[in-house]
Amino acid sequence: MTVLVGLQRMMYSVDAGRCAPPFPTLSSVFEATIRTVPYLNEKVREDVLLLLDCLETGKTALCHGDFHPGNVMFDGNKHWIIDWGSASKGDPAADACMTYLYETRFGLPGRADEYLDMLCEGTGMIKGDVLSWLPVVAAYQLDINDAEDRKFIHTIIDSWHEGLCLGEQS
C-alpha cells in the first residue's frame, strides 16, 4: 500500500498539461464513455454528466486512469507502473477515486478506506473530494463486460442517485 501511494504521489506531481503530444483530459474521457455506455438510464446519465461538469477542476496532473496493484510491476529492485493506455491529465482526486473503486470491489475488506486514508495523508487531498467523484467513476466503469461487476457498480450509482432525488424532494 505504501508503494502504491508513493507511486501515485510521484505521478500526480507531473504536469501532464505541458506534455507533447497533449494528453486528453480525464473528464473528456469520462464524458465520452458515460454518454455512450448502454447500462445507464437517461435521467441517471444526465445527472452524472451534470455532476462531472461541477467536479471538473481544470487540473492537469498526470493521471493513469486505471491505477491498481495489477498495474505495478516489481523486479526485485524497483517498481514501475504499466498499462498507460488510459493516461490523461486531470484532477488527481478523480484518478484516485478509480483506485478506490477498484479496491472497494477487489481488495480486502477495509483496504479501500486504508488506501484512501494513506493517499490523503500523503498528498493533502481531502477524502470527500476524492469520494465526490465516485458516481462519475462508477458510471465510467459500467463500460465493462462482467455482469457481476456492473451489478456492484450499479449499487453505488443507484445509492447516490436515490440520495440525490430525495434531496430534490426536500
99-141 pLDDT tens trace: 999 999 998 889 999 999 999 999 999 999 999 999 999 999 9
Q: Report domain extents, the chain.
A: 2-169
Write down the pTM of the prediction. Answer: 0.93
Lookup: cell for 160: 447516490
Contact 56, 93 (CB under 8 A): no
Q: What are phi and psi of 85, to 5 degrees?
A: -65, -20
Given CATH 1.10.3720.10, say whether it is the number of domain 2-169. Answer: no
Q: What's the mean pLDDT in 82-92?
A: 96
What does each C-alpha distance from 56 to 49, 50, 110, 124, 162 come to in angstroms?
11, 10, 28, 19, 23
The Cα–Cα gap between 103 and 135 comes to 15
